[in-house]
Structure 1
Amino acid sequence: MPQTADFLLHRLREWGVRRVFGYPGDGINALLGAFDRAEGDPEFIQTRHEEMAAFMATAHAKFTGELGCCVATSGGGTIHLLNGLYDAKLDHQPVVAILGQQKRIALGSAYQQEIDPNTLYKDVAEYVQTCMHPAQARQLIDRACKVALANRTVAAVIVPEDVAQEPAQPSPPREHGAVYTSVGYVKPRVTPPATELRKAADILNEGQKVAIIVGQGAAKASEEVGQVAELLGAGVAKTSLGREVLPDELPYVTGPIGLLGSTSSHAMMMGADTLFMIGTSFPYAEWLPPEGQCRGVEIDLDGRMIGVRYPMEAQLIGDSKETLQELIPLLERKKDRSWREHVEAQVSEWWDILDDRAHDKADPLNPELVAHELSKRLPDDCILTTDAGSVANWWSRHLRLREGMRASLAGNLATMGPGTPYAISAKFAYPERPVIAMVGDGVFQMNGMLELITVKRYLDRLEGSPLIFCVFNNQDLNQVTWEQRAMGGEPKFMGSQYIPEVPYAEWAKLLGFTGIRCDSPKSIGAAWDEALASTKPVVLEVVVDPEVPPVPPHIKKMQAKKVAKALRQGDPEAWGIATKGGRQKAHEFTESLKRSLPGTHN
């Protein structure tokens, strides 16, 4: 007779879940037996750590639009899931977590591995319930999946081991208190009222210098965003989670915004008279126009988050695609294209600045050149991931996405760890597509190296087309080092920032993969060619200069003062920072000067 554990997996399968990421433990023994009997539908994917399982479930939701699902045993396994689940919560991804628990008879006795996941998960999961009876399993799985999909959030179902082992009851007894649920969720059509659409159109039509910011909420509205930008003669900046919305080849796409941003995005924000935010809650006020400079229009599906980043006159609560479809007929094409021409000139200048920066001398290899050379070689339909750290700067700025490419990272949690598991999950979902992760050596030591064992475990599924992990080896927790200088006014503290060198390429070879090590600007192009041609998974280890600063598009006066203070206090890399940082900013001045001279760029 099927157990409750079998029915749980059957119900998840009915919800479209075909892959569950996790790690075994005795608190989920019954579920593991059920996975065995399920014969791969749904399939249990064994990760090296439960945190990685949660990251993979989050990535699956991001890259497929489907439910992500992960499972963990009682006690420590349940605790380990949390960081990856917070990534799903903060980036609004539908993920269901199945959690093991001690038998009901032991609960409340301070039994081994007994924790209170109901309390522990109250912040990360919008829905968290314990299955206390086999007949309850149906409605708990159905409700968890509906909540996760409807609210784009995390839901958790706790399953005591004895309940999981009991005979399944797919249909509850017909008695008072029984609940009968069904599988199925259809996304509703959400659009704002006509009066608010008219107000938004009037503001946008009256604006002379419209700046658009898009986030992941606009991912399904690429065509509509392009139409609006063309009608309004606007430029479009993209948040880190909005990288896929429009290709970087479009001349009016100003690229990233914020600390990881571009000079073209910053110039657009500082010159705009109208701000249009679509599907984003970009939080950094210092990179937005000063209050009072712009009139504001915003589209967001979540009414709780609209108008909380910049004062907005028109607040359009609705789906980005459907709202734009209703807004577009109300917009007037601007005859004066001088603002668009100005934006496009700034974008062209920015790409030239990046080219110049990438070719600056460094010791031994400029990290910007690594990303720059990859950008020229990006395969069609590739999927790109990255991690928290200075590498995210180069990933955000240098990689010119074309139509059809996918890209994501832990946007709002900005945690270390997801770059490698994101790439693995993407490869499971799309085995035929090239997948490339750019990660720092700190995070690779933290969890990426061991997660390559998961690749080895499923090598027959994950080889054949490019799967590349590019590791930036600088023996420095580089982003925090720069934050110490720019935010804290403190010199680099070697006790916390230095990390030992590890032969990452050799580690790949030990696992039977392709390992490539590059420490020369002359050979980085060839190294990328070799990596992209490999039919095996690749670790491309690039030995890069930690002194190349991730210079923001505009250096705030206070940041400059703090960096100067840090260097005066005996920073071990003071001279290299001063010369290389000065050279980077000089490129901005030089390119601007070039374009202002007669007979050069406009």
Structure 2
Amino acid sequence: MPTVSDFIIDRVQEWGVSRVFGYPGDGIGEFDGALGRAEKAGEGLEYIRPTHEELCSLMATAHAKFTGEVGVCIATSSPGAFHLMNGLYDAQMDNQPVVAIVGQQGLASAGTATLQENNLERVFADVAAYVQTVTTPQQAQVVVDTAFRTAIARRQPTVIVLPHDVQALDAEAPQPEHWVSRSSAKPASIEITPPADEIARMAKIINEGERVTFFVGAGAQGATAEVLEAARLAGAGIITALRGKDVISSDVAHHTQQLGLLGSLPSLHQMQRCDTLVMLGTNYPYGEFMPETGQARAVQVDLRPEHLGTRYPTELNLWGDVASTLRAVIPQLTEKTDLSWQEKVAEEMVGWEREMQAQAMVDYSDGVNPRRVFYELNERLPHGAIVTADAGTSADWYGHHIRLREGMRGDLSGRLATMMAAMPYALAAKFAYSDRTVVCTIGDGAFQMLGMNELITIKKYMHQWQSPQLIIVVLHNDDLAQVSWEMRTEDANPLWEGSQNVESVDYAGWAELVGFQGIRVKSDDEAAPAMEAALAHRGVTLIDAYVSKNVPPLPPHITAEFAKNTGMALLKGDPSAVNVIRDSAEALATQTAERVKGALHIGDR
């Protein structure tokens, strides 16, 4: 007789799930047993078990991001369930459909303070759009279906709580009885098009603009063709939010990449000079980089209505998905003949790329230039490559130097910006697209959190991949560098070694110990050969890049506050003051020289 666990596994598969990320424990033991029986019968889910439950939820979130499918993670009761929280918040804050299935102690123990019994519905109430405990066999169907349907429609995580005794009960099909729901394993459509009058208003605003900018986020995933066509007709420049980087190819000349501290000067100039702003699937949080109030007429399109009109005083807010909304508005757009705005945007981007190359070639005396590492990686990325970045300085260099061309993908933990996500993201990408080259870029602090553990997971599963090529680039500077810079630039505090120092480890040696190729990069001219060797190797490579911790992650425009705070921090006795001053001076000199060249070039024209 099938059990409730057997039924749930079958129902999860009906929702199109073929792979789950889990970690076992007695609280979910009967369900795990059912997973094992199904696998033995050749009818089960692919079960990926990393080294920690937090990795399970981060991998489920990354799976949702890279595939568009629902990510599923599984854990035992209280301790395992609690470890899922960080990854589920990552899903919540980046609007991803993830379903967590967690164990619970038996129903009779509820509220008795027995071992590992906690109120999981209360625990998950903030992070999940839907949390429900299955208490009877007939209830299992509607709980599973509601969890999946809600996750898909609301782009949020949901949680199914399974008491241990309920997991083993005989399955029962729901009957046409009072209090019993018979549900369907069908999603609600999220292809939402706003009303015709709002579409007409959107077209009118864009048509009346002379300097139109499209600001494109990850919510525009799947709408690339529509965005490009609308931008062509409107003569618009395009900016992408960091998580929307792969929505628009870097080969598009009027795509100026990101905005803000991790962005480009042409993107900042677009925001400062545009008269019409069209926000497409983005909830960009940094208001200081947005246009001045009243400068630009603004339209926003988003599937999450609570995001509309929260970042800039928009004239028109449209609740809809980007692709169908643009398909409706495109026939009403008037093709612009004056493309001077778009051409100017593209021209500035040429100068910015020259500046980024020059910054990558600066020689620092206290370690490898981390920009050089990313520059050389970008120059060699193969077609279809997938790049992940962590929340530290790797995100800075990813934003500044990685150019995702058509067919490439890239992502990171966005609004949560949690450390250590780059490794589970890379593994989830590799499981989803095992024939493609995946590159994880991560700082040594994040790598020490749980990243080093995941070399073990890679070793366990790599034989399943069509291509075993996976490259991990560790920025080895013995410092939590991003936070060190934030201490200086945001709070005018000097680096505090007690909190910022990272114990040095031979990361390449660790990779070699596990059985992988390890490459050490200790000078700038070793960066390119290291990337070539990694890409030539049909296997796993860890590049241990001994980079300078003092290279400033310069924003495209240095504010007075940024400069003042940094200066005050150094005057207060920053232990790295000498190197910071020297490296910052080198970077600023290069920035100034390139911008003077660019100005002269434009003047010559």
TM-score band by shorter chain is over 0.9
The aligned counterpart of 2:187 is: 185
What is the alpha-carbon distance in structure 2 between the residues aligned to residue 186 and residue 143 of structure 1? 11
What is the alpha-carbon distance in structure 2 between the residues aligned to residue 406 and residue 259 of structure 1? 22
What is the alpha-carbon distance in structure 2 between the residues aligned to residue 163 and residue 565 of structure 1? 61
After TM superposition, the score normalised by the length of structure 2 is 0.97
What is the alpha-carbon distance in structure 1 between the residues aligned to residue 193 and residue 351 of structure 2? 38
Identify if the C-alpha distance between structure 1 residues 463 and 48 changes in structure 2 by more than 3 Å, giving closer, same or farther. Answer: farther
Give the aligned residue type for 1:454: T
What is the alpha-carbon distance in structure 1 between the residues aligned to residue 574 and residue 384 of structure 2? 43
2:149–2:188 contact (8 Å) kept in structure 1: no
What is the alpha-carbon distance in structure 2 between the residues aligned to residue 346 and residue 451 of structure 1? 41
Identify if the C-alpha distance between structure 1 residues 555 and 401 changes in structure 2 by more than 3 Å, giving closer, same or farther. Answer: same
- 1:330 paired residue among 328, 332, 350: 332
Q: How many residues align?
A: 601
Q: Which structure 2 residues correspond to residues 344-363 of structure 1 after superposition, within 5 A?
A: 344-362=346-364, 363=366
Aligned Cα RMSD in Å? Answer: 1.4
What is the alpha-carbon distance in structure 2 between the residues aligned to residue 172 and residue 138 of structure 1? 8
After TM superposition, the score normalised by the length of structure 1 is 0.98
The aligned counterpart of 2:5 is: 5
Q: CA deviation at 1:199?
A: 1.9
Q: Which structure 2 residues correspond to residues 57-206 of structure 1 after superposition, within 5 A?
A: 57-169=60-172, 171-206=173-208
Give the aligned residue type for 2:242: S
The aligned counterpart of 1:216 is: 218
Asked if residue 263 in structure 1 is aligned to residue 265 in structure 2, the reply is: yes
Q: CA deviation at 1:464?
A: 2.8
Please give the per-residue CA displacement for 1:378-407, whole angstroms capped at 9, x wherever unaligned. Answer: 010111111100110101110111101111
The aligned counterpart of 1:550 is: 553
Q: Secondary structure at the match of 1:253?
A: coil
Q: Secondary structure at the match of 2:486?
A: helix
Give the aligned residue type for 2:454: E
2:367–2:546 contact (8 Å) kept in structure 1: yes
Identify if the C-alpha distance between structure 1 residues 309 and 582 changes in structure 2 by more than 3 Å, giving closer, same or farther. Answer: same
Identify if the C-alpha distance between structure 1 residues 81 and 569 changes in structure 2 by more than 3 Å, giving closer, same or farther. Answer: same
Q: Secondary structure at the match of 1:469?
A: strand
Q: CA deviation at 1:415?
A: 0.7
Q: CA deviation at 1:531?
A: 0.8
Quick check: 12-21 or 329-338, which moved more? 329-338
What is the alpha-carbon distance in structure 2 between the residues aligned to residue 186 and residue 130 of structure 1? 22
Q: CA deviation at 1:567?
A: 0.7
Asked if residue 571 in structure 1 is aligned to residue 574 in structure 2, the reply is: yes
What is the alpha-carbon distance in structure 1 between the residues aligned to residue 96 and residue 601 of structure 2? 51
Q: CA deviation at 1:325?
A: 1.1
Q: CA deviation at 1:463?
A: 6.7
What is the alpha-carbon distance in structure 2 between the residues aligned to residue 444 and residue 73 of structure 1? 25
Which 4+ stretches in 1 moved above 6 angstroms? 598-601
Give the aligned residue type for 2:396: N
Q: Secondary structure at the match of 1:458?
A: helix
Give the aligned residue type for 2:586: R
2:127–2:157 contact (8 Å) kept in structure 1: yes
Q: Which structure 2 residues correspond to residues 496-575 of structure 1 after superposition, within 5 A?
A: 496-575=499-578
1:594–1:601 contact (8 Å) kept in structure 2: no
Q: Secondary structure at the match of 1:96?
A: strand
What is the alpha-carbon distance in structure 1 between the residues aligned to residue 10 and residue 128 of structure 2? 23
What is the alpha-carbon distance in structure 2 between the residues aligned to residue 598 and residue 413 of structure 1? 41
Give the aligned residue type for 1:580: D
The aligned counterpart of 2:384 is: 381
Give the % identical residues. 44
Please give the per-residue CA displacement for 1:539-571, whole angstroms capped at 9, x wherever unaligned. Answer: 111110001011111122112111110011111
2:124–2:131 contact (8 Å) kept in structure 1: yes
Unaligned runs of 5+ in 1: none
The aligned counterpart of 2:321 is: 319
Quick check: 480-489 or 286-295, which moved more? 286-295
Asked if residue 52 in structure 1 is aligned to residue 55 in structure 2, the reply is: yes
Q: CA deviation at 1:341?
A: 2.1
Q: Secondary structure at the match of 1:327?
A: helix
The aligned counterpart of 2:24 is: 24
Unaligned runs of 5+ in 2: none
1:595–1:601 contact (8 Å) kept in structure 2: no
What is the alpha-carbon distance in structure 2 between the residues aligned to residue 297 and residue 44 of structure 1? 43
Please give the per-residue CA displacement for 1:508-554, whole angstroms capped at 9, x wherever unaligned. Answer: 11111111111111111110011111112111111100010111111
Give the aligned residue type for 1:587: T
What is the alpha-carbon distance in structure 1 between the residues aligned to residue 567 and residue 311 of structure 2? 31
Identify if the C-alpha distance between structure 1 residues 26 and 208 changes in structure 2 by more than 3 Å, giving closer, same or farther. Answer: same
The aligned counterpart of 2:293 is: 291
- 1:342 paired residue among 334, 341, 344: 344
1:594–1:600 contact (8 Å) kept in structure 2: no
